[in-house]
Amino acid sequence: MKFKKMFCVVTVILMMIVQSAQVSAQAELETTAESAILVDAVTGKILFAKEPDKELPPASVTKVMTLLAAFDAIEKGRAKLTDIVQTSENASQMGGSQIYLEPGEEMSLKTMLIAVAVGSANDCCVAIAEHIAGSHEAFVKIMNEKAAQLGCKHTHFVNAYGLPAEGHYTSAGDLALMMREAIKHPLFLELTSIKRYDLRGGEFILNNTNKLLWWYRGTLGGKTGWTSEAKYCLASITARDNLKLIAVVMATPEPRSHFRESMKLYNYGFAKYEAVPIAASGQVMGKVRVGKGTVDWVEAASTGEVGTVVQKGQKETVTHKVVIDCPAVTAPVDKGQVLGKVVVYEEGKRVYKVDLAATKDIPKGTVFRQMFKLMKNVYSYSG
């Protein structure tokens, strides 16, 4: 009973501390967005939040997941950028933002993805969905499955383009999760950072709807959205001085206010926080002995960026440790096989980890190699 009472007291104290921190952040920064979040793109650390779990219509910011689901299909070999996508009657009848596809009109998958990323083309969303999954409905199911896989608790998609529909919603917090996943695909930043694209031989011009690309230094990409129901929304990413931040604002009230409120979040983040980079993605951070293989060692490299974000002046509180799971493995070893991890600490508390993986395949060695190695070891020992 005494332990239970103590546990309750500790829980209440922790809740008060968290609430106090949230109130402090709110006092330092105010936003007209109904829901907003600012996170470190590398670690996911939340630097500011206002109603981050509030379920709201996302309008065309839906297309962050549309693009992500398409990129997944491409990376898994279910589609290629060079595929020719034929427009169905269904796709050609979409309203809202569009490039006015005609039934039977053909474009490469990459061109249609650009039209989605730059011009927010609803008709291309449906054409892409049908090409990859066979139907728009099947593609939306993939989107929802991906959202669940990422840990999104406040998201449900009804369509791939974001026009108002009952039961179509997400949250700023969930969109930040989607953005963190999307930027792992180089194609996402490549396409969403295009400022202008000439379509159909220059007959149709696409200008990027994300004006932060012009107005805010360091902006790398993102996706806008607007409907009368959703108001103005924006999910974006910006980088300065090794610090990569993702900002999401939802339901800002008037034209261009989603840009203003996003810049407000970014200004807050860059003024108050700094990055502590430790290692780049793919950097070798250790090696592991290989038994019965064609070589005796395999390098272990980070599977992502290693580092964290702290308030300015707190860099000295950050440390890290390389942990190898086992000093030796037996061949065969697969490229990408997890061999250990890098753990990042702040003031001695674990805050982030990145897996270390084998940099190449190590096949099993021949019997003759094993015999030669054994004889060499015996000779070295006897000598």
- In tens digits, what is the pLDDT along the chain, a chain of 383 residues? 454 555 444 444 444 444 444 444 555 899 999 999 999 999 999 999 999 999 999 999 999 999 999 999 999 999 999 999 999 999 999 989 999 999 999 999 999 999 999 999 999 999 999 999 999 999 999 999 999 999 999 999 999 999 999 999 999 999 999 999 999 999 999 999 999 999 998 889 999 999 999 999 999 999 999 999 999 999 999 999 999 999 999 999 999 999 999 999 999 999 999 999 999 999 999 999 999 999 999 999 999 999 999 999 999 999 999 999 988 999 999 999 999 999 999 999 999 999 999 999 999 977 555 555 555 554 554 44
Which pLDDT belongs to residue 28?
Answer: 80
Output DSSP code: residue 95.
Answer: -
Residue 375 pLDDT: 52
- The single residue of 35, 50, 60, 341 carrying the catalytic annotation is 60
Q: CATH says 31-269 is which class?
A: alpha beta
- For the chain, the residue count is 383
92 noted as active-site residue: no
Can 60 be counted among the known catalytic residues?
Answer: yes
pLDDT at res. 202: 87
The three-state secondary structure class of 372 is helix
Task: Please tell me the predicted confidence (pLDDT) of residue 370.
Answer: 58
Q: What is the pLDDT of residue 7?
A: 46
Three-state SS annotation for the chain: CHHHHHHHHHHHHHHHHHHHHHHHHHHHCCCCCCEEEEEECCCCCEEEEECCCCCECCHHHHHHHHHHHHHHHHHCCCCCCCCEEECCHHHHCCCCCCCCCCCCCEEEHHHHHHHHHHHCCHHHHHHHHHHHHCCHHHHHHHHHHHHHHCCCCCCECCCCCCCCCCCCEECHHHHHHHHHHHCCCHHHHHHHCCCEEEEHHHCEEEECCCCHHHHCCCEEEEEEEEECCCEEEEEEEEEECCEEEEEEEEEECCCCHHHHHHHHHHHHHHHHEEEEEEECCCCEEEEEEEECECCCEEEEEECCCEEEEEECCCHHHEEEEEEECCCEEECCECCCCEEEEEEEEECCEEEEEEEEEECCCECECCHHHHHHHHHHHHHHHHC
Q: What are phi and psi of 321, to 5 degrees?
A: -140, 130
Residue of 120, 171, 236, 302 with catalytic role = 120
Task: Please state, in angstroms and rounded to a whole number, the distance separating the CA atoms of residues 160 and 142.
Answer: 10
* Structural contact between residues 270 and 96, judged by C-beta atoms closer than 8 angstroms: no
The predicted pLDDT at position 22 comes to 42
What is the structure's pLDDT at 13? 45
Q: Which amino acid is at 86?
A: Q
> Contact, 113 vs 99, CB < 8 A?
no
Residue ranges of the domains in the chain? Answer: 31-269, 280-382
Check whether domain 280-382 has CATH 2.60.410.10, yes or no: yes
**Which one of 50, 63, 244, 341 is the catalytic residue?**
63
